[in-house]
Structure 1
Amino acid sequence: MTNLYFVRHAHSTYSADELNRPLSERGREDARKVTDILKNESINVLISSPYKRAIQTIQGLTGIYDVDIVIEEDFKERLLSDKHLSDFDSAIAKVWEDYSFAWEGGESNIVAQNRGVRALEKVLERYVGKNIAIGTHGNIMVLIMNDLDKRFNFTFWKQLNMPDIYKLSFDNQRLIEVNRIWEKS
């Protein structure tokens, strides 16, 4: 069995700089909880989106498991648009309603999902039988999960916590089960 622990990043301090947006104080506290939850999961590999908030959310595991974080560009968050969208809620609902629709300069669900699934397949091929923690983002995580099982949809995405952890267990490339292992206190 190969186990992937998708870790949606903790709360961050908002800035327009997506790449370098850091965790907030609450986010840093929750990142410590992520470390606490995953410290007994025998993690072999740490992978993260290049975004600082995703890296910081799993960074505490580097000392416990004595492994470095491998950056995987394709686990970065989906780009909704390269323009300011005044109503985020309706903008995100629109792309989930029509998987081929993309806002100006942004990724459609299909494009983002294909990117994420390619990254997932690469991880499953490279790390067979390993336990892998992946620091990522809510939308791309759910799009990847949706490719595997349609119950992971927009409604599912809306109920995610920040952070959140889902363990996906695979037999080779076949998904066996999904378990949520984050309990927000």
Structure 2
Amino acid sequence: MPDTIIYLMRHGETAENACRPFILQGNSVNGPLSENGRRQAAALATLLESVPFKAFFASPMLRAQQTAQAAIGPRPLTLETMKAFEEVNVGQWERLSWNQIKEQYPRESAEFLANPGTVPYYGGESYVDVQKRTLPVLEDLAWKYVGHTIGIVAHNVVNKSILASILQLPIARARTLHQTNCCVNIIRWTENGPEVEVLNSDLHVRHLPQTL
């Protein structure tokens, strides 16, 4: 049986990504790409020009939608929105820096940082929660598009959760994976299951300002 190739990407930079100190940006922040983010998306589109995508999917978040539309370019493809790939719900910690979180939520933040896999963001989701809503959808797409290549634009925690599962990492280690803005991961889905062929490739945007 032929394999399915999945390009799993992160969206381009937003104003929140560029904030220092770093602040959390979950599923209740829905701003557009920054000027630099649009440049990153254009660089991603150039990288993907020759990739024969059969279908393209994205989170409903504006930053993912804009990145995906840029990546599709002139292809005669209709972008399909998948709520399963929406960014993690970070609850009460939205738009807060970690220093602010530790100061305002000392007990809850300590519990989260001690076990970021199963303990949720305060009032939100955990990495395990994200895996539960993304992995079944990803597998369905892999079998639906056997023998083809598909693209997915999602988010930092979403990608980390998916990749940790495929790499067979303990969920607590998902947070240690890196996913730079507009990075590319390539997953090959075989009859024996998925394997990661490319992880956090970002050479195409390294000439641009880098954020988290």
TM-score range, shorter chain: 0.7 to 0.9
Q: Aligned with 1:133: secondary structure?
A: strand
User: How do residues 148-159 of structure 1 correspond to structure 2 at under 5 angstroms?
Assistant: 148-151=166-169, 153-157=174-178
Matches within 5 A, 1:18-29: 18=28, 20-29=30-39
Counterpart for residue 105 of structure 2? none
Task: State the 1:110 CA deviation.
Answer: 1.2
Deviation at 1:50, TM superposition (A): 0.2
Structure 1 residue 16: Cα displacement: 8.9
The count of residues paired between Structure 1 and Structure 2 equals: 183
Is the alpha carbon distance of 1:94 and 1:123 closer, same or farther for their aligned partners in structure 2, counting shifts above 3 Å? same
TM-score when scaled to structure 1? Answer: 0.86
Unmatched tracts of structure 2, length 5 or more: 17-24, 103-108, 208-212
Instruction: Choose from 54, 61, 69 the match for 1:59.
Output: 69
Q: CA deviation at 1:64?
A: 2.7
Alpha-carbon contact 1:4-1:167 (below 8 Å) kept: yes
- 1:173 Cα deviation (Å)? 5.9
Please point out which of 195, 198, 209 is paired with 1:179: 198
In structure 1, distance between residues paired with 2:35 and 2:195: 36
> TM-score, length-normalised on structure 2?
0.76
Identity of paired residues, percent?
21
Kept in 2: contact 1:18–1:51 (CA 8 A): no
Secondary structure of 1:4 counterpart: strand
**Which amino acid is the alignment partner of residue 2 of structure 1?**
T
Deviation at 1:125, TM superposition (A): 2.2
Structure 1 regions of 5+ residues with no counterpart?
none
CA distance in 1, matches of 2:198, 2:36: 25
For 2:121 and 2:41, the matched residues in 1 are separated by 32
Larger Rg: 2
Q: Distance in 2 between matches of 1:40 and 1:93?
A: 46
Q: Distance in 2 between matches of 1:50 and 1:37?
A: 23
TM alignment of 1:29-48, pairs within 5 A: 29-48=39-58
